[in-house]
Amino acid sequence: MENYIWNKRKRVSTVGILTVATWCLVFNLADAQQMLTREEQAKKDSVTDARIAMLEKHAALHKPGLDHFVVVGLTTFGYASGKTTSNDGSAPLKASAFGTDSYEFSPMLLWRQGKKVLLEFEPSFNNDGVGVNWAAISYFAKPNLIFRGGYFVVPFGMYTKKLAAAWINKVATDPIGLPTAQDYGFGVSGGLPLGSMKWNYDLAVTNGLTIDPTVNNGTLTNVNLGAAARNKTFVGRLGLLPFSNNSLEIGVSGMTGGVSNGNMTYADVRANLYAFDLNYVKNLSPVLINVKSQYNVVDVGTATYVNPLDATKSYTFNNSSTSGYGQLSIRPTESQIDFIKNLELAFRYGQYNTPKNSVWGANTTQTDYGLNYWINWRTVVRVTYEVLNSKSTVDQSLFTSPVPNTKTQAFHIQFSIQL
């Protein structure tokens, strides 16, 4: 009996020892595993610290405000359908197409280096080709003093520089008779307070314009980079904001320069251009009123041109043109119905009178009726009906057959968004 009890105790002791040994082994393995995990974690922490140090060093080299790149721009797509009739008895000309003058894709690339330098580049795809709207560098010397050089929109009038973007324009087409828009040059701009009023200035010297002596005798065209043998053109605009709420801006512009482009026939001929513009935006409860207008005068000095019927002969005329437009849009911004509140009615009337007795002389009127729906502040769908009436004023002796009067009616549907 005692042997049985002793043997039983011995087995129990043996089991206890084995159990303790097993738990010790488990704890030792767990400690080893924990130590290994800690070593791995230390390595990971070391790598993380190195990465953070590298990012901090990189951030120190590129602090906010020192280097910044952004892509904006606009895109426009639409459909146009039109019919042109004339008084010469010919059949009407009908056409319809997607795109045409309703399509544009223009991403704008802006790169700021520090707080003083801004690079602007805007390529544009329209009319089945790729062009450049502007590519310029600006230096912000002071809040009211900016220097600019490169290829940019010339500061003549308000429309081409501030209102031409399709998502800003109130109808689907541009006003007729607008002078040139872009050119190579150097400019300076800014603004200053004037008592309770404000005024701004935008001045530039550019390569300017030259005369087309062949196709449309006397018309002006851009010189761009081919102006080494001629004087430069000076252009500028002054704007005044007479009200403290900036609801009204009126501006006056001027442009002057020689047009010879190395052609001694026009060595002493100059072009002088003038413009007057107005922009008024006011919330007159319960509607928002938007009024815009611009009037342009183009005066080219006396010159002789090749007779289109006989190249050995020449002729001349008073090379003076005028153009202008007035535009009104009304939007019921205080309507309780969202759909009504987002609608906008627009009307524009324009006129373009080219020189009498020239090969391109005509008095043309442009009438536009528009209905716009604003999806948001920078996205719009518009419908525009346009009528162009053109009455010829050419010297009929320059042609073998009379130049007819024409009438064009067009219907536009357009979608435009600022990117």
Dmax over Cα atoms in the chain, in whole Å? 150
State the average pLDDT over residues 261-265: 67
Question: Would you say residue 366 has pLDDT above 80?
Answer: yes
What is the structure's pLDDT at 15? 41
- CATH number of domain containing 346: 2.40.160
The predicted model gives 170-174 an average pLDDT of 92
What digits encode the pLDDT tens for the residues 223-240? 766 655 567 899 999 999
Give dist(CA 380, CA 165) in Å, integer: 12
pLDDT tens, residue by residue, 321-331: 999 999 999 99
Q: Are both 92 and 1 inside the same structural domain? A: no
6 and 94 in a single domain? The answer is no
Nearest alpha carbon to residue 216 among 354, 391, 100: 354
Examine residue 110 and state whether it is found in any structural domain, yes or no.
no
Q: Is the model's pLDDT at 37 over the cut of 70?
A: no
Where in the sequence is the domain holding 39, given as residue range(s)?
1-61
Q: Name the band, by pLDDT with cuts 50, 70 and 90, for residue 95.
A: confident
Sequence-separated (6 or more) residues with CB below 8 Å from residue 152: 120, 134, 136, 182, 183, 185, 187, 204
Q: Over pLDDT 70: what percentage of the chain?
A: 78
Which of 95-99, 134-138, 144-148, 201-205 bottoms out in mean pLDDT, i.e. has the lowest? 95-99
pLDDT in tens, 280-323: 999 998 999 999 999 999 999 888 887 777 777 778 888 999 99
Say yes or no: 351 and 283 in one domain: yes
CB 68 within 8 A of CB 111: yes
Q: Is residue 197 domain-resident?
A: yes
Instruction: Say whether both 40 and 78 belong to one domain.
Output: no
Whether residue 322 contacts residue 353, with contact meaning beta carbons closer than 8 Å, is answered with yes
- Same domain? 180 vs 328: yes
The token duo for 182 is 């872009």
All residues at 6 or more sequence positions from 217 whose CB lies less than 8 Å from its CB, including other chains:
305, 306, 308, 358, 359, 360
Going by pLDDT thresholds of 50, 70 and 90, the confidence category of residue 214 is low
Evaluate if residue 198 carries a pLDDT over 50.
yes
pTM, 2 dp: 0.79
Residue 398 scores a pLDDT above 60: yes
User: Does residue 222 fall inside a structural domain?
Assistant: yes
| pLDDT for the residue numbered 46 | 64
| Cα 388 to Cα 173: distance, rounded to the nearest angstrom | 12
pLDDT exceeds cutoff 60 at 16: no
**Both tokens of residue 230?**
């001629």
Please report the pLDDT score of residue 139 as a whole number: 95
Same domain, 49 and 79: no
* Cβ neighbours of residue 345 closer than 8 Å, sequence gap 6 or more: 329, 330, 331, 370, 371, 372
Which tens digits make up the pLDDT trace of 400-418? 667 789 999 999 999 999 9
Chain-wide mean pLDDT for the chain? 82
The answer to whether the CB of 355 falls within 8 A of the CB of 349 is no
Token output for 334: 């205080």
* Average pLDDT of the segment spanning 36-49: 57
Residue 287 identity: V
Over residues 15-25, mean pLDDT: 44
| Ranges 43-52, 261-270, 367-376: which has the least confidence | 43-52
Are residues 280 and 352 both part of a single domain? Answer: yes
Contact 355, 320 (CB under 8 A): yes
- Has residue 36 been placed in a domain? yes
What average pLDDT score do residues 271-288 get?
Answer: 94
226 and 283 housed in the same domain = yes
pLDDT of residue 304: 83
Residues 89 and 30 reside in one and the same domain: no
Residues 94, 225, single domain; the answer is yes
**Structural domains in the chain (count):** 2
